Amino acid sequence: MVSDESLRPDPSRREKRKQRSRRHNPDGTMSLKDHLYELRTRLGWAVLFILLGGVFGFIWFEVDFGVVPSLSRVLIDPYCALPETVRLSPNGTCQLLQTQPFEAFMIQFKVGIAAGMVLTAPLWLYQLWAFITPGLYAKERRFATVFVFLASILFAAGGVLAFLVIPQGLSVLVSFGGDAFITALNGSAYISFVLVMLLIFGVSFEVPLLIIMLNRVGVLRYENLSKWRRGIIFGVFVFAAFATPGTDPISMVVLAAAMAVLVELAIQVSRIHDRRKARREALEDPNAGLSDDEATPLSFDTGPVPPSPPPAEPVVQSGPTPPAEPRKSGGFDDVT
């Protein structure tokens, strides 16, 4: 026999989306099949937005949009900032070398995709956010929104700092060798150097936010962070030495100093959070601040004993006392 469920028509796409909404599904419960379908749809839209942004970035690489210069000019400016005596300018203009037939196309494609991901970040990040948010509570959604907002700002700040440091780093790197060398950078190597610098600085600026997040959830306490401060600062300088490409000393020092300042700021934020948390827990539970090895103090003071009520005065009835009626049980009196 055919079950009744198999005879039911499949719900439309609009009805499925309605069932997955927070209003009609407050718990965010979905089957594994629905989760996979939802993930496929969200990833499809995210990839489509990135490809559209990549097409725009591919065109923007060579075209100026009003006062906004082309991407090629923006990326080459740090190289063109070098003195003309140390860089190669065969046509009197600042140009990079193409050593392979399709090298310029691949560079334009790579830069276009990178620019498309940055420009369409709100769109494809929203798709990922829409896939995650049904399983979160309202407080968790607000917390995650603040995290994404601050992460975007810190990543952009790191990219801007990297773009400001690249010219000084190139000046130091090309100064070695004196007049025996002239700088003629390969286009692919130079663009990869710039993109890696932007990525490293942007990702490195997320470390302080990660520390604050771990402190909020109780994994990293300020007491431990204060003990590990010297080790963390040393690790930051070691990371900057290995992360910056080209063994550039200026980029290494600038990245390490910026990360050290941000890490110290994250430690102070953790200190304020832990202090407020301890104060709040002390008001709720006086024994909340005790360690695991410390015994809970016992108090035998039960407080003042309330006075006993005065004894009730006997009630005196006036007149003759009426005779007591015999009790009856099942139609017979007690005497019987």
Paired with 329 in beta bridges are 332
Confidence of residue 129 (pLDDT cuts 50, 70, 90): confident
Domain residue spans in the chain? 33-282
Distance CA 310, CA 308 (A): 6
Q: Is the pLDDT of residue 173 over 70?
A: yes
> What was the pLDDT predicted at 6?
45
At 161, is the secondary structure helix, strand, or coil? helix
pLDDT score of 3 more than 50: no
What span, in angstroms and rounded, lies between the C-alpha atoms of 169 and 95?
19
Q: How far is CA 325 from CA 268, 315, 330, 332, 333, in A?
A: 86, 21, 16, 13, 10
pLDDT of residue 120: 86
pTM: 0.68
- Identify the pLDDT of residue 170: 80
Distance between CA 168 and CA 250 in Å, rounded? 7
- Alpha-carbon distance 65 to 330, whole Å? 108
Residue with tokens 């006997």: 314
- Binned at pLDDT 50, 70 and 90, residue 51 comes out as very high
pLDDT (average), residues 17-34: 61
Q: Which residues pair with 65 in a beta bridge?
A: 68
**240 burial level (CB within 10 Å; 0-12, 13-18, 19+):** buried
Helix, coil or strand: residue 65: strand
What local confidence, expressed as pLDDT, does residue 268 receive?
92
